[in-house]
C-alpha cells in the first residue's frame, strides 16, 4: 500500500506540552539534566479569542530534536497536581490548551512539507493550518485519536543569538512567576529589558577591561 | 522614554525597519535593536508587511511603556 510513497519524515522536530510550573520544568530539564535552552517564543495571544499571552520555550534533547513547553499567562489549572497533567480534558478546556500537547515531525524542505500536505488532502484529510513561524514553517492536522500532529521544516537555522535570547526569556519568566504578583507578559518584557541592559553593561565592562 | 527591544534576526527585520521609521532613536544593544520613543509609538502591521504568527512575537522586551493595542492592525505603545 505504501511502497510507492517516499518516506520524507526525519524524526522528531519537537514534542510539546503545556506547563503550569515553568520554574520546576527549567530546574528539571536544564538545571538537573543539563539540556540547553535553545529557542523561545514570547507572544501576545492571537488566533482564538480565548488565547492567552504565552511563552513557548525549547530544550535541546540531542540529535537536533527538541522538547518544548507552553506557559500561558493567567491560566488556571484544569486538573489536580499529580495527575498525568492534562491528557484528558472535558469540553470546558479550550482547544489551544489541548493542542499544546503535540508531536512535530521534522522534514527537510518546503517540498517535503508540500508532499505531506498533498498526501493528507488527497485522502480528504483536512490540513487545518499552514503557518510560517519564526524559524519553521508547519502544517497541522489532528490524527484519528484527536492528537494534534505537525509537520515542519526549518526556514532558517537557529543560532547562538536565538539560544541567548531564549535563556534571557526563561530567566525573565522565572523571575516573574516567582514574584508575589500575578505573572503577565508585560512584566516578563519589562524584566527582560532589565536583563538585556545589564548584560550589555557587563559586556562593555569586559571589553573595557581588556 | 519608551524602550522597545526586538531580537535582531531575519524574521523581525521588517518589523525593525518599520519601527525605525517611527521611533525617535534606533540603536543596537547586544543581540537586540532598541527602538526608543518619547511619545506614543505606533507600528502598522501592514505597512511593515509582517505575517501574523511572527507579528505577535516580535516584541522581545519592553519597558517604560504600556501596550495599548496589539492586534492584527497595529502595535501601539503609550508612555507609562
pLDDT at A150: 94
> Which pLDDT does position A28 carry in this prediction?
84
Instruction: Tell if the CB–CB gap between A192 and B5 is shorter than 8 Å.
Output: yes
> What would the grid cell of residue A148 be?
494534534
CATH code of the domain occupying A14-84+95-154: 3.10.180.10
Whole-angstrom distance, CA of residue B6 vs CA of residue B3: 10
- In chain B, the domains with their CATH numbers are 2-79 (3.90.56.10)
Contact criterion met (CB below 8 Å) for A58 and A14: yes
Q: Least CB-CB distance to B57: which of A42, A192, A195? A: A42
Three-state secondary structure call for residue A157:
coil
Angle of helix A160-177 versus helix A185-209 axis, rounded to 10:
130
**A104 three-state secondary structure:** strand
pLDDT, position B68: 97
pLDDT band at A97 (very low <50, low <70, confident <90, very high): confident
Domain spans in chain A, listed from the N-terminal domain onward = 14-84+95-154, 160-204
CB contacts, 8 Å: B63 with chain A: 189-190, 193-194
Query: Could you report the per-residue pLDDT of A153-163, keeping only the tens digit for each?
Result: 999 999 999 99
A contact set with B (CB within 8 A): 41-46, 131-135, 155-156, 159, 161-162, 164-165, 172, 186, 189-190, 192-197, 199-200, 203
Is the predicted pLDDT of residue B4 greater than 70, yes or no?
Answer: yes
Residue of A44, A131, A159 to mutate for B, most B C-beta atoms under 10 A = A44
All cell numbers assigned to A98: 489541548
Distance CA B75, CA B29 (A): 22
Predicted confidence (pLDDT) per residue in A159-209, tens digit: 999 999 999 999 999 999 998 899 999 999 999 999 999 999 888 888 776
Q: pLDDT at position A121, please?
A: 93
A41 secondary structure, DSSP code: E
Burial of A73 (0-12, 13-18, 19+ CB in 10 A): buried
Q: A93 near A104, Cβ under 8 Å?
A: no
3-state secondary structure of A145: coil
Condensed to tens digits (0 to 9), the pLDDT of residues B17-59 reads 999 999 999 999 999 999 999 999 999 999 999 998 899 999 9
- Residue in A closest to B5 by C-alpha: A193
- Give, as one character, the DSSP assignment of residue B2: E
Cross-chain Cβ contact A132/B9 below 8 Å = no
A203–B10 C-beta distance less than 8 A: no
Residue of higher predicted confidence among A86 and A16? A16
pTM reported for the whole predicted model: 0.86
The Cα A65–Cα A191 span in angstroms is 29
Amino acid at each position: 500500500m505504501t511502497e510507492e510513497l517516499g518516506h520524507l519524515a526525519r524524526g522528531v522536530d519537537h514534542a510539546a506540552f503545556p506547563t503550569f510550573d515553568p520554574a520546576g520544568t527549567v530546574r528539571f530539564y536544564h538545571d538537573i539534566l543539563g539540556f540547553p535552552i535553545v529557542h523561545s517564543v514570547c507572544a501576545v495571544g492571537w488566533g482564538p479569542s480565548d488565547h492567552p499571552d504565552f511563552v513557548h520555550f525549547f530544550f535541546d534533547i540531542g540529535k537536533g530534536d527538541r522538547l518544548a513547553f507552553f506557559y500561558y499567562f493567567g491560566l488556571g489549572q484544569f486538573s489536580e497536581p499529580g495527575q498525568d497533567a492534562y491528557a484528558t480534558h472535558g469540553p470546558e478546556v479550550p482547544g489551544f490548551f489541548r493542542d499544546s500537547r503535540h508531536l512535530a515531525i521534522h522534514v527537510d524542505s518546503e517540498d517535503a512539507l508540500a508532499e505531506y500536505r498533498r498526501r493528507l488532502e488527497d485522502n480528504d484529510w483536512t490540513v487545518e493550518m499552514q503557518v510560517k513561524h519564526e524559524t519553521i514553517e508547519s502544517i497541522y492536522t489532528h490524527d484519528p485519536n484527536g492528537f494534534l500532529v505537525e509537520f515542519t521544516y526549518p526556514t532558517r537555522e537557529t543560532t547562538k543569538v536565538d539560544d541567548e535570547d531564549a535563556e534571557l526569556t526563561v530567566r525573565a519568566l522565572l523571575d516573574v512567576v516567582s514574584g508575589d504578583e500575578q505573572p503577565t507578559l508585560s512584566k516578563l518584557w519589562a524584566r527582560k529589558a532589565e536583563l538585556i541592559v545589564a548584560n550589555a553593561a557587563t559586556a562593555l565592562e569586559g571589553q573595557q577591561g581588556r | 522614554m519608551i524602550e522597545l527591544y526586538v531580537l535582531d534576526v531575519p524574521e523581525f527585520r521588517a518589523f525593525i525597519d518599520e519601527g525605525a521609521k517611527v521611533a525617535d532613536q534606533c540603536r543596537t544593544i547586544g543581540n537586540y535593536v532598541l527602538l526608543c520613543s518619547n511619545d506614543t509609538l505606533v507600528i502598522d502591521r501592514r505597512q511593515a508587511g509582517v505575517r501574523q504568527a511572527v507579528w505577535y512575537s516580535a516584541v522581545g522586551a519592553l519597558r517604560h511603556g504600556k501596550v495599548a493595542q496589539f492586534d492584527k492592525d497595529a502595535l501601539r505603545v503609550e508612555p507609562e
